[in-house]
Each structure stands twice: as C-alpha cells, then as structure tokens.
Amino acid sequence: MSKNIKEKIRQSQFVVNYGRMWPFVKPIWPIALLSLLICVPVGALDAAIALFLKPYTDIVVVGKNMEAPWYIPLLIVGFTTVQGLLNFGGVYLNSWVGGKLTMSLRERLYDKLLQMEPGFFDKTSSGEVMYRFNNDAEKACAGLLGNLKSFISRICSSVALIGVLLYNSWQLSILAIVILVVAVAPLTRVKKLIKSLVSKDTAGMAKVNTIYNETFSGNRTIAAYNLQNNQKAQFNRIQENLFDFRIAITRRTAWLSPFMHFVVSIGLGLAIAFGSWLIVEGKITPGNFVSFLTALLMLYTPLKNISNVAISVQQSFLAIERAFEMLERPVYLPEKKEPKEIGKIKRGISFTNVTFAYKKGVNVLKGIDLDVKAGEMLALVGNSGGGKSTIVSLLPRFYDVTSGSISIDGVDIRDFSLYDLRQHIAMVFQDNFLFEGTIKENILLGKPDATDEEVALALERACLTEFVASLKDGVNTSIGERGMLLSGGQKQRVAIARAFLKDAPIVILDEATSALDNKSEGIVQQAIDNLMKDKTVFVIAHRLSTVKNANRIAVINEGELVELGTHEELMAISNGKYRTLYNMQFKDSVTESENVA
C-alpha cells in the first residue's frame, strides 16, 4: 500500500468515525443540527469586536472625536450579550443531544453485551467490560459533540476573523496565514504520536476497575488471607503505570504549545513591524492596524492549548472505534434464519462424536458418543477437569461443538433458536447467581408472569416455605447483592425454586450440593428430587453416593467417555474407573466416621 493511500485512509478516519454515529444521531437530527448551527453565529461574532475597533480607533483615538462612534461600545456589549445567550443555548442543546446519544449507544452496547457468548466473559475482565461498554459510550458521544461543536465554532470564528484581516490589510493577512499554517502543521503527527499511549491508558483504567470489582467481591478472601498489602501493591503498580503513560503523552504533546507560542510570537512581531511600515507609508490607517492585531490575537490564542484539544480528539476517536469494534463484533453462536421449534421431547438427547476445544488444538472433549432417553436421569462423574461441566455447557449452547453434533429428537440443537433451546432447559449450578432484589423477584426470573399460587408452590417444592415464613417481609425480603444475606443452602433452594417455575423438560444440575454441609445438603437434595420428577436430567456430582439412583452413570476421564452403565453395572467392572472412585470415597467416609467416633 502506497504512502498516499495510507495518508488518505488516515485522514478519512475523521469522516468514518463521525459517519458511524449517524444511526444514533438520525432520530434526533433536527435538534442535533440546531445545536451545531448555533455554533456558526457564536464563532462568527468573535470578529465583531475586532471589526468595530477600526472606526473607534480612527475616529476617537486618532481623530479625537467622541460624537460619531458613541454607539460602538453599545454594539460591542450587544453583540457579546447575543453571543453569550447563543452560547448558553448551544451548551444546553449539546448537553441534551449528548445525553441522548450516550443513552442510545449504551443501550446498544448493553444489548450486545447480553448477546455475548460465555467464552467472551471467560477471556475478558470485569473492568474491561465496564470500561468498553460504559465509559467508551460516554467518551464517544461527549467527545463527538464537544469536538464537532468546537470545530464548527472555531472554523466560523477563523473565517470571520480572516475576513477582518483581509478587510484591514491583504498584505498583512498573507503573512498571518503563512504563520498560521506553519503553527498548525505539527498537528498532522499528533495522532501517530499518542494513539498507542492513549490505548494503554484506557487499558490501565480498565485494570483499575477490575481491581475495585475484585476488592468488592473478594473482600472476605482479602481479609481472611491478609491480602491487603498485596492488593495495595498491585493497585499502586497499576497507578504508577497509568502515571507513566500520561506523562509520556504529555512529553509527546506538551512541546506543541511552546512551539506555537514561538511561531505565533514571530508572526505577531512581523505583523507589528510590517504593519508599522504600512502605516508610515499610508497604506493602512491606525484603526486598520489595531483591528488587524486584535483579530490576529483572537485567531492565534486558541492554538496555545492545542495539545489538550488534540488528546481529547484522539480519546474521542479511540472511544468511537472501540465502541463500534464491539458493536460490529461477529456473533460466535450463529442462529438459523428460520429455526425449527422444539416440541415435546419424545426420544431424547444425543451426543454424536462430540469434540470441543476452548483453545484451538487443545481438545477438552474427544469424540463423546452418548444417548440420553427422554425422562432419564444421567449422572456424569469423574476426576476434576475431565470435561463433565463442559458437556452440559454445550447442551444450552454456551459454546458450540468443535466437531460432531448434539441433537434433540434427531434435530441438531443449532437448528433451534437460542431462546427456544434455553427455554427448554433449567440449570442449577454449584454457585447460583442471585440478583439484587427480593426472594420473590429472583424466583420470578423462571417465569415472570407466574401467579402467587405458583410462587407458593415453587417455594414448597424447594423446601423454602418454612424459612420464608420466618422472615418479617416473607417472600418480599431483600437478599442483597448476589444474595449475600442468604446462606449457601438458602441460595441453592431459591435457585431451585426459580427452576421449578421455569418448568423446563430438561434439567441440568452442576455440582448443586457439593459446597453444602450434610444438613443443608439433605434439605437441598430433597428439593432437587422434587425438581427432577418427570424430567430429562443431567447431574454432575463429586459425591457418588448422591448419584447411585441415577438411571445411568457416565464416567468422563480426560475428555473421554470411559464407562457407562448403572451403579451396579459399573461396580461390577474389575479395576473400573467408577469402582475405584467409589471405593476411595467410601473409604474416606468410613475413616471420617471412625475419627468422629
């Protein structure tokens, strides 16, 4: 690619970035246009003061006549007042438009976030999610309007002021414009100088957000392990990196202001010298000269803080690029345009030669073949990290198989819509996420339009009725963020009640009782038994005593299905994997009982 083409692409980024925002501007374009049109008179009126100084200087200062120009001070005050009122209107409209754009972009970004596959969250920190889906929207929209408003206002002001320059002296104007071009020439390299640093600064801020989130969520772990100094050191290290990035940005851009001061001072010096000669030669009047210098100073002054403007513009463009990078990110779980519908499950679910890899070339599952009949309870057991949770994560399409297929009644699950597929599956995890709100609000997530009678039935089947009755506010009791005000067993039962309301034909239980004590496990297991009735059930459990009654047990080891059968059939296999695991747990259980005795 030639340098000229690259340069054109680089220069077109201004148009591309602003063009990308048009779909968000379109619904409010009349007000957005008005907010920008106001910038025209606001900028143009800058020239009024400089223009009026010519007759005032010639008549009053030089001619010593106070009669003719009595109206000039009043006009200056009047024009300045009008400019101030227009500026207020412009700021108000820009704030309104900016708020609307930010809200619209945030809504689109959040909608995109909700569509992200679980693999995205596996690889992305919470701080980066907050920054890219929230802060970038603010910077993109505020920067878009702020920069465009300043650009239009400054262009109109510059055109008006250059008009005043030409009106007073075309000779001096040529000199002033040449100096102006020399002063702004370095701006063409600003983007290249700071783009990488601005990106690193943004990434650093995302890490800061992550630290705050981890400190909030992991506060007990930090206290229990006395990690305060470690967390502080990590936070300070990130802060120091941010400081270094920002100092580097300053180092690369701060020279612009003194450079422009120097160039502008040369321009002013030459203008004064040349203007003085023109006055002596009678080619311009003193009023022309004073008006010219005033316009020149007003034209040059904004250049003194140009480095800050350049950084702001770059941050805005980067935010727009990052926001649309997310919006334009391809969907990794594609759906059929005309998906099939899942009816009543009659035959069951089949895994056919299923292979899956989180990272390319590193297979977690290797050729899994498994048929689960409708209404059957299948238990998945095996050593940690063997692929059990991965298998059940593929069924609701949290991830797609690398090769092979999963089908329901002979239809590939990729032929169903994600909504329909997941509506037919209820999941209870080891650590169920509860949202801030009340017990009832969390249960209703399973069926938002459920009646009070249905909620009461779900509470009963989840063994929560007695606990809820003991609370002052009953089912309307607030449970705090992530359900922090509930015990582990209570959270599990709320999640089970939620699954009851959903009443899905397929139930997945992923280590639903492994983190509970014996008493809590007994209550939760009773609730789970109620949940599993007349369902097709997948159960993952480390405690093999809880899966003895499963219709079949699948032993998964290092991504492969190594054994499949009932408890009795698997125990009959000499040196079998399941028998070895069961005997080890049984031995540990006996030893534990003897120690207690």
| Mean pLDDT over each residue of the chain, to the nearest integer | 82
User: pLDDT: is 526 or 538 the higher one?
Assistant: 538
Helix H or strand E encompassing 556 = strand 552-557
Tokens representing residue 578 in the block: 């399941």
Pick 203 or 355 by higher pLDDT: 355
Indicate whether 430 pLDDT > 80.
no
At 517 the pLDDT is 57
Least confident of 118-122, 514-518, 544-548: 514-518
Alpha-carbon distances, residue 99 vs 29, 143, 152, 323, 443 (angstroms):
14, 12, 20, 16, 35
| Sheet bearing 560-565, strands edge to edge | 425-428, 506-510, 536-540, 377-381, 552-557, 560-565
Mean pLDDT on 426-430: 83
Please provide the distance, in angstroms rounded to a whole number, between the alpha carbons at the two ends of the chain.
81
Q: Are 369 and 352 in contact (CB under 8 A)?
A: yes
Q: What is the mean pLDDT of residues 538-557?
A: 84
CATH among 3.50.50.60, 3.40.50.300, 3.10.28.10, 1.10.220.70 for 348-424+546-597: 3.40.50.300
Q: Does the structure show a pLDDT above 80 at 302?
A: no
Amino acid at the residue 21: M
Q: Is 587 exposed, middle or buried (0-12, 13-18, 19+ CB in 10 A)?
A: exposed
- Name the pLDDT band for 185 (thresholds 50, 70, 90): confident
Q: Under a CB-based contact definition with an 8 Å cutoff, are residues 342 and 416 in contact?
A: yes
pLDDT at position 309 is 67
Per-residue pLDDT, averaged over 496-509, amounts to 87
Quick one: pLDDT at residue 7? 45
Residue 533 has pLDDT above 90, yes or no: no
For residue range 577-586, list pLDDT tens digits in order. 888 888 887 6
Considering only CA atoms, which of 184, 294, 314 is closest in space to residue 249?
314
Indicate if the pLDDT at residue 39 is higher than 60.
Answer: yes
Are the CB atoms for 217 and 272 separated by under 8 Å?
Answer: no
Which of 514, 336, 358 lies closest to 428 in space, CA to CA?
514
Alpha carbon 237 to its chain centroid, in Å, reads: 24
Q: What is the pTM of this model?
A: 0.76
Q: Span 17-30, mean pLDDT? A: 80
Stretch 375-395: mean pLDDT: 89
Give mean pLDDT, residues 94-108: 89
Q: Return the minimum-mean-pLDDT range out of 4-18, 96-110, 324-338, 494-508.
A: 4-18
Average pLDDT over every residue of 524-550: 80
Which element (helix H / strand E) includes 276?
Answer: helix 256-280
Buried b (16+ CB within 10 A) or exposed e, 372-395: bbbebbbbbbbeeebbbbbbbbbb
Q: Does the pLDDT value for residue 79 go beyond 60?
A: yes
Domain boundaries, the chain: 12-208+246-327, 348-424+546-597
Mean pLDDT, range 165-169, rounded to an integer: 87
The architecture CATH gives domain 12-208+246-327: Up-down Bundle (1.20)
Q: Which run of H or of E encompasses 82?
A: helix 71-115
Cα 269–Cα 275–Cα 277 angle in degrees, nearest 5:
110
Average pLDDT of the segment spanning 137-143: 80
pLDDT reading at 304 higher than 80: no
Instruction: Specify whether the CB–CB gap between 119 and 357 falls below 8 A.
Output: no
Distance in angstroms (rounded) separating the CA atoms of residues 76 and 321: 43
Whole-angstrom distance, CA of residue 133 vs CA of residue 121? 13
Q: Identify the residue with better confidence: 451 or 431.
A: 451
pLDDT at 184 exceeding the cut of 80: no
Of the pLDDT bands very low, low, confident and very high (cuts 50, 70, 90), residue 401 is very high
